[in-house]
Chain A
Amino acid sequence: MKMFVCIKRVPDTSEADVKIDQTGKSVDSSRFSFGINDADNYAVEEAVLIKEARGGEIKFLCIGPKDSDVVIRMSLAKGGESAVRIEDPRINQKDPLQVAKVLAAAIKREQFDLVMTGCMSADDSNMSVGVALAEELGVSHAAMVKSVEILDGKIKVKRELEGGLTEVVEMSLPAVITIQTGINVPRYAPVRGIREAQKKELKVLKLEDLGLAEEEVSEAGSRVELMKLYIPVVASNAEMIQGTPDEKAEIMAVKMVKGGLL
């Protein structure tokens, strides 16, 4: 089983103030913390579990600057043979179809059985790269996978649908699956393991190495254009409860009990 796992380093903005920078087209990330994209982390673990159960080989793929090496090394420490980081400022990372094209170019050069991505990135959340990648590679896919079973030349997966429903799908290999969070419990990569993983191959490639022309994957070559970013007006009709924490609690309690909400 030869597997590719696509990972990305993303900011954690769940508690952060997100501000738009002067370009108006990107955000000021100087005060964010960063880490591996959550869903990708589950994909890494799933690949390692499959490898532990059936043997095989894992290669990590990542588009990003050198800062991304830390999440690549952490993934390699968990179990993986090698990694490729594609660093090229010409790549338009805001277009999921172009990202898929770059990843496909890196995968196509080799034989593979299974490609995994996270089902969604925490920053852009297009939920599109994995499925577009499958089309670029000309193989079957399933998105939002919550369970994987490898069969002979096939794969059986459970997709997590709305309303707690699960859809079971069978596909022939090779295939691409996008992994939903919660499919497993990602392990910890101890620092000694990460140091050990420094010995593993991590190639850094550019567009030319992948045989891609700039216009295929650059902003200019995208079929859509990001016009501007802006902070949404929170259209809240909510009644703001004012005061100290104690006062707010009291006002709310009175509304709930005496206002007949309960």
Chain B
Amino acid sequence: MNSEVRSFLEKHDLLGCVQCGRCTGGCPVTARTDLNVRRVIYESIDEKMLDKMSKLPDIWDCTTCSTCAVRCPKGLKPLEVLIGLREVLVESGMVQSTVRDALESVFQEGNPWKKPRATRLDWAEGLEVKIAEPGEKVENLIFVCCTVAYDPKLQDIARNLVKVLNKAGVDYGLVGDGETCCSSEVYNLGEAGLFEMMVEDNTELLKGFAADRMVTISPHCYSTFKNQYPLLKMEIVHYTHLISELLAEGKLALPKEVSKKVVFHDPCYLGKKNNVFEEPRFILKQVPGVEVLEFERKKERSLCCEGGGGKMWVETESRKERLAETRIKDARALGADVLAVACPFCILTLDDALKAKGFEEEMKVADILEILHEAAG
């Protein structure tokens, strides 16, 4: 047994698995695909199987939602085994072209969307924004996220945040055009080498700012900076933390009524992975006119939207109903006017599902910031 394989087994504590199957039983994507995490763990114990396992299309079905980790009685992280197998494939170079392109784009342009680094701040054009200067003191350093910065469908999230912060007179500064992918998805796609490199580079870059803390828009950036950047000694919060504070301290007035029934969808990377459940709900409750509804599957049991875990670049072949569509149907059944989220990936998947289901007239998917911006007037 060579040391590398031994470390795979040790790293994931595969022998600690009692094969109880709670991971697979709770895995949301089993509703759509043949992924069987328990079996993958069992078969990965055999070092000789790793190469073959890495070529299984199933390992790309995982959305890294962490339900399996939450449910494991032994405290294992079955999803990490799947990421580890992806790593084996990435190291061979034989990943599908969409994954290749996304990873190359992060390596060369600092974002997975094949967009030029130089256009990262284009979303802010015509807007009054503060850019943080390295070394200059700033309370809240804002990390926008590649997907929010480049996807025209999502840029309003960043614009709304900036407008709200301006209105509340918050001391903030954007990381700016030097902002580079947090690499959450790089990690999930199994590119460990690139992830290490990005962590190093980003740590260096972000340390240069004299910031009390960093506020992220995406839960994916939040979770990654918080949990996977050991040398970044900076407090990391999600924007829902910051906004909750502002509301609690009375610094942000919400004069306009928003008479809507709103149901909140817990993003996996905010909820299951980091136990942030209350802040988004607190914010919604402060909005005059909003009636907050709850899904039956909420908080740590929230149903994954299938947006994370690299799924932006890997299509599951299953033609069964997408989980996001299930979620949309559930929201509709609750009579919600708005399905509120606090994650760019959730917006993309849920909004697609809304259109696929044809519910655009009755309902909409919106980031909390959109509702907040409306209420702030």
Contact = CB atoms under 8 A, between A and B. Distances in A.
Chains A and B directly touch (beta carbon < 8 Å): yes
Interface in B78-127: 90-91, 93-95, 97, 99-100, 103-105, 107-109, 114-119
Contacts of A33: 105, 108-109, 114-117
Contacts of A193: 91, 93, 193
B118 A31 contact: yes
B108 A188 contact: no
14 contacts: A12-B116, A16-B116, A30-B118, A31-B116, A33-B115, A35-B104, A35-B108, A70-B108, A188-B93, A188-B95, A189-B93, A190-B91, A191-B193, A192-B91
B4 to A, nearest CB: 12
A70 B116 CA distance: 16
Interface string B181-211: 0000000000111101100000000000000
A189 B91 CA distance: 8
Nearest to A187: B93
B108 A187 contact: no
B320 to A, nearest CB: 28
A75 B194 CA distance: 16
A32 interface: yes
B247 to A, nearest CB: 34
A32 B109 CA distance: 10
A15 to B, nearest CB: 8
Interface string A53-89: 0000000000000000010001000100000000000
Q: Please name the 3 residue pairs, one residue from A and one from B, whose CB atoms are nearest each other, closest first.
A: A192-B193, A191-B193, A187-B93
- The listed residue with most B CB atoms (<10 A of its CB), out of A35, A70, A188, A191, is A188
Nearest to B89: A188
Nearest to A14: B114
A195 B118 contact: no
Interface of A: 12, 16, 30-35, 70, 74, 78, 185-195
Interface of B: 90-91, 93-95, 97, 99-100, 103-105, 107-109, 114-119, 191-194, 196-197
B97 A185 contact: yes
B108 A34 contact: yes
Nearest to A35: B108
Contacts of B194: 190-191
B151 to A, nearest CB: 13
A188 B99 contact: yes
A31 B119 contact: yes
Contacts, number: 61
Contacts of B197: 191
SS of A interface (majority) = mixed
A51 B88 CA distance: 22
A12 B104 CA distance: 13
Contacts of A185: 97
Contacts of A187: 93-94, 100
A190 B193 contact: yes
A194 to B, nearest CB: 8
B100 A186 contact: yes
Contacts of A31: 116, 118-119
Nearest to A189: B93
B60 to A, nearest CB: 14
A185 B94 CA distance: 9
B242 to A, nearest CB: 31
Contacts of B91: 190, 192-193
Contacts of B107: 70, 74, 191, 194
A190 B108 contact: no
A33 B118 CA distance: 8
Given A31-B119, A33-B109, A33-B115, A190 B90 contact: yes
A76 to B, nearest CB: 13
A192 B190 CA distance: 12
A152 B368 CA distance: 67
Given A186-B100, A187-B100, A188-B95, A32 B193 contact: no
Contacts of A78: 93
Contacts of B99: 188
Nearest to B107: A191
A33 B192 CA distance: 24
B191 A191 contact: yes
A190 B114 contact: no
A132 to B, nearest CB: 29
A191 B199 CA distance: 13
Given A188-B104, A190-B193, A12 B94 contact: no
Which among A16, A34, A185, A192 has the highest number of chain B CB atoms within 10 Å? A192
Nearest to B186: A191
A34 B95 CA distance: 21
Contacts of A190: 90-91, 93, 191, 193-194
* Residue of B93, B103, B109 most packed against chain A (CB within 10 A): B93
Given A70-B108, A190-B191, A192-B192, 9 more contacts: A31-B118, A33-B108, A33-B117, A34-B108, A188-B90, A188-B99, A190-B90, A190-B93, A190-B194
Given A33-B108, A193-B93, A188 B118 contact: no
A217 B191 CA distance: 42
A34 B108 CA distance: 8
B108 A32 contact: no
A34 B93 CA distance: 21
Contacts of B117: 33
